Homo-oligomer: A and B are copies of this chain.
Amino acid sequence: MMPKELTDLSRLCVHTITTKPWSIEMAAREFSKAGIGGITVWRDALKGKNIGDTRKMLSDFNLDVVSLCRGGFFPAMDQTKRKLAIDDNLKAIDEAANLGAPLVVLVCGADPAQPLKESRKQIRDGIAACLDHATACGVRLAIEPLHPMYAGDRSAINTLEQANDIAEALDSSFVGVAIDVYHLWWDPELEKQIERCGKKKNIFAFHICDWKTPTVDMLNDRGLMGEGCIDIKQIRAWVERGGFDGYNEVEIFSSIYWQQDQHQFLDKIKSAYLEHS
């Protein structure tokens, strides 16, 4: 079953990291001019900025702030580091609240010096420790499962099933999941776990890009929609059947695209979005 075709850009959101060479002001101006509805802000794009001013700037450009990327990185063998990670997540929640972002995306982390099971426990404990503050600020937290190739040091949460497990265990309307096709497309359980996630009202975000063959870099060789082997329309159909009607967020890390003219790249994103998402 295919989802309804996308015929305009009103549900398109682009991550600031996708057009990394642009400042947030430049990105906001160009996204807005292109008719894009939403922006997800990476924290590095806020460095040295007044968050209140940035919020006003994004609002003047008529952009919805979809989420703030990213919190997380909870696990560490060293307890002091775990405490610092929680502090940083509380700060990210404050930043999101000040920016008007309703959501913080969590790249959960992993410490290669300890078993994945222990890292997973620390992730759950870390999110739990941030939950009161997130609730008080009205900022939701989205656990983003990362591809198993990042299990060593970026995230011990590598399947939607694991993310669902933690979200359901924490049992709060302020904790859910970010579904990224790049991380999850290969998983034979994906359809079933998206259905489960939807039933629990835990689909908080939907990220798109494509998996190129060959992929030559583990971090910065993501493809534009249609350039790879992910059936994005199929996954969007599952996500929408699960009740999700939010933004389709284009999150592409690409050394190749970052070296190109970003205006042309944004044009390609728009076409690829309409044609292949």
Contact = CB atoms under 8 A, between A and B. Distances in A.
Interface string A101-118: 000000000001101100
Interface string A185-212: 1111000000000000000000000011
A213 B112 contact: yes
A215 B218 contact: yes
A149 B148 contact: yes
A149 B149 contact: yes
A186 B228 contact: no
A188 B162 contact: yes
Contacts of A147: 148-149
A229 interface: yes
Contacts of A19: none
Contacts of A113: 229
Most chain B CB atoms below 10 A, which of A116, A185, A186: A186
B158 A186 contact: yes
Interface string A139-151: 0000000011101
Majority DSSP secondary structure for residues of A touching B: loop
A151 to B, nearest CB: 4
Given A158-B186, A188-B159, A152 B215 contact: yes
Contacts of A115: 231
A151 B186 contact: yes
Contact of A112 (B112, B159, B228): B228
Contacts of A152: 211-215, 228-229
Contacts of A186: 116, 148, 151, 158
Nearest to A112: B229
A189 to B, nearest CB: 9
A88 interface: no
A251 B175 CA distance: 42
Interface of A: 112-113, 115-116, 147-149, 151-153, 158-159, 162, 185-188, 211-216, 218, 228-229, 231
25 contacts: A112-B213, A112-B228, A113-B229, A115-B231, A116-B186, A116-B188, A148-B148, A148-B149, A148-B186, A148-B187, A149-B215, A149-B218, A151-B185, A151-B186, A152-B211, A152-B212, A152-B213, A152-B228, A153-B213, A153-B214, A153-B229, A158-B186, A162-B188, A216-B218, A218-B218
Given A112-B213, A148-B187, A151-B185, 8 more contacts: A116-B186, A116-B188, A147-B149, A151-B186, A152-B214, A152-B229, A158-B186, A162-B188
List of 6 A-B pairs having minimum Cβ-Cβ separation, nearest first: A112-B229, A151-B186, A152-B213, A149-B149, A153-B213, A112-B213
